[in-house]
Amino acid sequence: MFDAKADDGYFLGYSFVSKAFRLDAIQEELNQFHGNKVWTLVQLPRGNIAIGSKWMFRNKKDELGTVIRNKARLVAHGFSQKEGLNFNETFAPVARMKAIKIFLDISVQSKRIPPHSYEDNLYVPEGKSTSGACQLLRGKLVCWSAKKHQLVAMFSVKVEYVVAARCCANILWMKSQLTDYGIHYKTVPIFCDNISAIAISNNPVLHSRTKYLDIKYHFIRDYILKGDTELHFIPNKY
């Protein structure tokens, strides 16, 4: 049971009604801990420091903004934890949709066809370009993105190179997910319709003519040299 009198500091600044709602939410959370056997009470070993915790409150509202449920979550002080001692790895409690698609695909098929990515760029009369990219696994779409750029690009290669770098980031994430399932791929292809962007990606030397490119996108060169990915030209006609 949560002792509201002993822990009155949790409700400083809350009204009497809000305090009552939060007490119910806290008790509901503690009941879930007890029912699911979340923890086991043990003696703190000598020389160790207990990790603190904090109650987080949130109001769940409907489409009209009316509070329909008060939620409470007990979270640990992550800043006081040490990797390898208190935890081994971190993860998001909610899975990404593309992670679910990868899991479903490898669950129903056994052929190991490496993933690949396409990226494209479309120009409109106003001068601002719209770039798009998609990542496929065994011929099935895993994720895609499309973005209209706010500024007019001086050169088409700039937009193509940026999109290729973002595709590379997604490819690396997909490879890490597949590795967790015991599926390993060495080189994943990225198909691009701009020869200049491919040439810049394959050249690890920084030239004065490419100084307008943000240096943060040059990471793709390192992974091409390591053999994690490679760019291929694919013609595109509108």
Which range has highest mean pLDDT (59-63, 90-94, 221-225)? 221-225
The strand pair at 140-148 and 188-192 is best described as unpaired
pLDDT in tens, 30-84: 888 888 888 888 888 888 778 788 888 888 888 888 877 888 888 878 777 666 6
Quote the CA–CA distance of 189 and 117 in Å, as a whole number.
7
Quote the CA–CA distance of 201 and 47 in Å, as a whole number.
52
Average of pLDDT values for 219-226? 89
The predicted structure's pLDDT at residue 100? 72
Which long-range contacts (C-beta less than 8 Å, at least 24 apart) are formed by 206-213?
212/154, 212/155, 212/158, 213/158, 213/161, 213/162
Domain 110-233 falls under CATH 3.30.420.40: no
Helix (H), strand (E) at residue 141: strand 140-148
Q: CATH 3.30.420.10 in the chain, residues?
A: 110-233
The predicted structure's pLDDT at residue 17? 64
Q: Which two tokens stand for residue 28?
A: 């509901």
The predicted structure's pLDDT at residue 93? 59
The predicted structure's pLDDT at residue 174? 86
Quote the CA–CA distance of 185 and 190 in Å, as a whole number.
14
Quote the CA–CA distance of 67 and 55 in Å, as a whole number.
19
Which DSSP category does 218 fall into?
G
Comparing 108 with 38, the larger pLDDT belongs to 38
Q: With left for phi above 0 and alpha for psi between -120 and 50, is residue 109 left, alpha or beta?
A: beta
Which range has highest mean pLDDT (132-141, 210-219, 224-233)? 224-233
Return all residues near 112 (Cβ < 8 A) that are at least 6 apart. Answer: 183, 185
Total-model pTM? 0.52
- Residue 71 dihedral angles phi and psi, to the nearest 5°: -115, 145
The predicted structure's pLDDT at residue 218? 84
